[in-house]
Amino acid sequence: MTWSLESGGPIWTAPPQALLTDDPAWFTASRAVEGGKNILLRNGGACWPFRIRKRFGLTILESAGQNTRSVAGPLTFSLVESAYSTERNPLPRLTAKDLPSPVDLVDLRRLPKECLPSLFPDVPGRAERPDTLWFSRSLGPTAEDFLASLASSTRKEYKYSANRVRRTFGAQNIRYQKIRLTKEFFDETWAKATAIAPYTWQGKSGVSVLVSRAKKRFLEELAGGAMPVFTHLYHLGDTLAAVAVSMELSGQCLIYAHEYNALLSKFRPGALIDLELITRAMEDGARVLDFGIGDTPNKRMIRCVPVPLWRVRVPLTVRGRLAVAAGYAGSLAARMIRKVGDVGR
């Protein structure tokens, strides 16, 4: 059976136990900031949302939302204890003949390794490599079960940090707020969160989600849809010590952004806001935590399970092969592609 183009655009129902970032609301918000042409390919029970965009003179096929989804593969897998399983739903083979229009380069990121053998396996110049790590875990039925699952040293560290901030600032001066983002009050709430950016390592390094215009627009679109989006503010005295952004849906909690004030790092505000966030999410029904991509100590501290994700690039034309050979990363590749012009179309 081959893949077919689903008419009417990328509209579907997320399969049972699908990741929170596989929800249609997520793709609707992604579409608002990504641009390009969105398509949906279907093969039996499997479907895969894609977008086709232009860059460096190339026509590129990507997974829709692959820069925001935790795992940007097809919607054919189920979430099972922090990993993807292909035993029940193996991925059908995808070839150039399945694509609805000519494409120079296929560039798919954040893929489970099990997907790779089915993706354009016989194309010369096809390249695959590790992309990133995705972290998630089962939380258990109660907050007590979650805490019991942690290492004894981690529990002691949480207790020590909590006692230290109480002694230093006074219990009455420690404030945690969980605020749902809404379209109506988005800017007002967002301004409170972004106040921390100049004091975080992400803000100083220019990689803060809180000051990204594209991420702000994405979150605003997401908050205006069917996805519950929350900001979390943790104050020690009058100082904003930590901020987090999370989403909660269908028994899952995704920690999308997490920053703390580096001037207060000795008090471990990042760890304490994580604990508050997870505990409140569990009270609201969350049983699975998605801590997104990227390897940081706090994810391993709460025993999230790392799952390797992969990137595959497949050149389908001469221009695509030149882009892959040049690294598809900078001005050199762009210049080479422009010189080739329309060769290989």
| Alpha carbon of residue 244 to chain centroid | 14
* Whether residue 13 has pLDDT greater than 90: no
* Whether residue 180 has pLDDT greater than 50: yes
Considering only CA atoms, which of 284, 231, 222 is closest in space to residue 69?
222
**Which pair of tokens denotes residue 232?**
């979390």
Considering only CA atoms, which of 344, 341, 322, 342 is closest in space to residue 332?
322
Residue tagged 């829709």 (tokens) = 64
pTM of the model: 0.87
Percent with pLDDT over 90 in the chain: 64
Task: Tell me the per-residue pLDDT of 29-83, one tens digit each, with 9 for 90 and over.
Answer: 988 888 888 888 988 778 889 999 998 889 999 999 998 999 998 886 554 443 4
The reported pLDDT for the residue numbered 36 is 86
The reported pLDDT for the residue numbered 326 is 76
Phi, psi of 183 (to 5 degrees): -60, -40
* Whether residue 307 has pLDDT greater than 50: yes
* Whether residue 10 has pLDDT greater than 70: no
The residue that leads in pLDDT, 83 or 253, is 253
CA dist 185 and 196 (Å) reads 19
Mean pLDDT of the chain: 87
100-128 mean pLDDT: 92
| Alpha carbon of residue 237 to chain centroid | 32
The residue that leads in pLDDT, 88 or 94, is 94
The reported pLDDT for the residue numbered 169 is 97
The reported pLDDT for the residue numbered 103 is 94
15-23 mean pLDDT: 81
